[in-house]
Amino acid sequence: MTDERRLLEGIGVSPRVGFGTGRWIGESRAETENPTTDEVDPAVEQSRYESAREVAHDSIDRDRKRALERIGENEASVFEAHREFLTDPQLTDAIETAIDDGEPAPRAVKSAFADPIEQFETMDGPMAERADDLRDVRDRLVRTLEGTDNVALESLPSGTVVLAERLTPSETARLDPERVAGFITQTGGRTAHTAIFARSLGIPAVVGIEAELAALDGEPLLVDGEAGTVIVNPTRQEQRMATAGVAQTVRSEPAETRDGQEIEVAANVGTLADLEPAREHGADGIGLFRSEFLFLERTDPPDEASQRTAYRQALEAFPNGRVIFRTLDVGGDKPISYLDMPAEGNPFLGERGIRRSLEQDRDLFEQQLRALCQAGGAVGDDGGTLSIMFPMITTVEECEAALSVLADVLEGLSETGTPAARPDVGVMIETPSAALLAAELADRVDFLSIGTNDLTQYVMAAARENERVAGLHDPLHPPVLRLLEGVVADAHEQNAWVGMCGEMAGEPRYTPLLVGLGFDELSMSAVSIPEVKDRVSGIDTAEAEELAEHLLECHTRGEVTAALERWSAGVQEGT
């Protein structure tokens, strides 16, 4: 270790800045060679391999659940692919053949994965990054077979900057953004799952650093995930600037622009365990309660009483705020084993969201609405404002049908004298059809909430999980921006408010644009709330509106990105 200040350059993949102490975790990799074994019993090794595969399957399910709760549905879908790797005949046949030929199980696994990993690495663009997914599955198997433990990434000391040759998706998903100040890897790219997880968790990250990172173990490091740089032994002034950037003051009060425009900043949550972190980070309320998490990882659906209890807890957590529950949104990338969900060629264009709730899941839909309205009635004035929104709306008829079901539920509760609250009602704007029908939908409900992840997918005809078209899955493409502007304008004309609960809402660099477009509410992962609130407080609404008007005139994503960067640089120079 030296006190020499050095600058390392790589690829910034998460627009955050962090400062902490480096910790090399390269030893966690299952890369070591197995010693030569003279006597191998193939039957024993096959049994060991099958047991390891079962353990790996269970651990993938746990990581998938963790990603669903902490990061989001789109990101968690990577673990579906990991499960498929476990049963891929190209891999399983190669492993079993190697074992039959006398190889010990760990060596057979490493050998079988070697060629596919190398094949992906020789490809260009995002496909090359799929090699990390294969490594992730390989390492799970090998660690189990060799009896080695992985680094406890969930409990690293506060202020740790993780150093590694690479991080797999499951390792990144286990990082605690409250403890980890950032991570640096020698390999990786902006579209890799590891990078996507880092952005969703709000962890500063720089990849592609061409340096011996193990030598930085114990060194003070400043990670600038926007500039793509790492400063070894930064000055005290640089440390203070970095610390100020990541240790935002939590604001319990609503955020206001410089000219007094209030913007509601809420949290996206998946489980009851997420409520307290949302409160601690200063959320004004819950902008998206993903109710499907109550239905996942079970063998049968939750009953009405247990749902009512969960919804009541969420309302009580934000007595002065708004709590928006999205009704059961399954299908697409969220299958549920106990529901009749036949395989579809393209599930994102099939039976999902409100389509199922109005048809085969009608009983569950009515039960859920009863539980929600009763929870609102039970908390009364001591709880937050009960709000319900319907997912995957594409027609006015679907909206009216869902409202009719809600009206019947409320009437039934009234007839039995059951205390119930009449909720505010909204719809998700996730499809081009819903965006183009914004005025008609807003005329029938209280609010609209835009899910930019799905909306971008459908507008750009680019599947969220397909890395070959990752460049198209960006909300800064002009057609997406123009739809956002149209939805906000149409909704406001009908006196409905508009929120956003997609990944775009939690990116501080987009906050001026979203304020300029006229959004009333932004909902995001809890870790992003302090920084977004801080960003709101520095915005002048008129200037933000000028920025939005300028960006809406751009013809390409490159023009939009360049203009946004110029505006941000100008603001920073003026502050």
Residue 375: left (phi > 0), alpha (psi -120 to 50), or beta? Answer: alpha
Strand boundaries in 97-238, DSSP class E: 160-164, 180-185, 205-207, 220-224, 229-232
Tokens of 168: 């797999």
Q: Which residues are designated catalytic?
A: 193, 501
Nearest to 150 by CA among 22, 23, 25, 63: 25
CB 354 within 8 A of CB 398: yes
* SS3 (DSSP) at 468: helix
Q: Among residues 318, 422, 445, which one has the least CA distance to residue 369?
A: 422
Q: Which of 572, 532, 541 is nearest to 255 (CA)?
A: 532
Tell me, rounded to whole angstroms, the distance of Cα 473 from its chain centroid: 14
- Is residue 329 classed as helix, strand or coil in its secondary structure? coil
CB 292 within 8 A of CB 298: no
CB 220 within 8 A of CB 239: yes
Residue for token digits 């390989």? 138
User: Letter for the amino acid at 6?
Assistant: R
Edge-to-edge order in the sheet of strand 17-24: 6-9, 229-232, 220-224, 17-24, 160-164, 180-185, 205-207, 11-14
- For residues 350 and 24, what is the distance between their CA atoms, to the nearest angstrom? 45
Three state DSSP letters for 2-58: CCCCEEEECEEEECCEEEEEEEECHHHCCCCCCCCCCCCCHHHHHHHHHHHHHHHHH
Alpha helices in 217-360 (DSSP H): 236-246, 275-280, 304-317, 354-357
Please report which helix (H) or strand (E) contains residue 426, including its range. strand 424-429
**What is the phi/psi pair of residue 236, to 5°?**
-65, -35
Other C-beta atoms within 10 Å of 7: how many? 10
**Residue 343 token pair:** 């395989």
Directed axis angle between helix 452-460 and helix 478-493, to 10°? 120
Question: Which token pair is 458?
Answer: 């459908």
Taking the CA atoms of 329, 333, 334 and 335 in sequence, report the sign of the dihedral they define: positive
- Let me know if 153 is exposed, middle or buried by CB neighbors in 10 A (0-12, 13-18, 19+): buried
319-334 burial, b at 16+ Cβ within 10 Å, e below that, comes to eebbbbbbbbbbbbbb
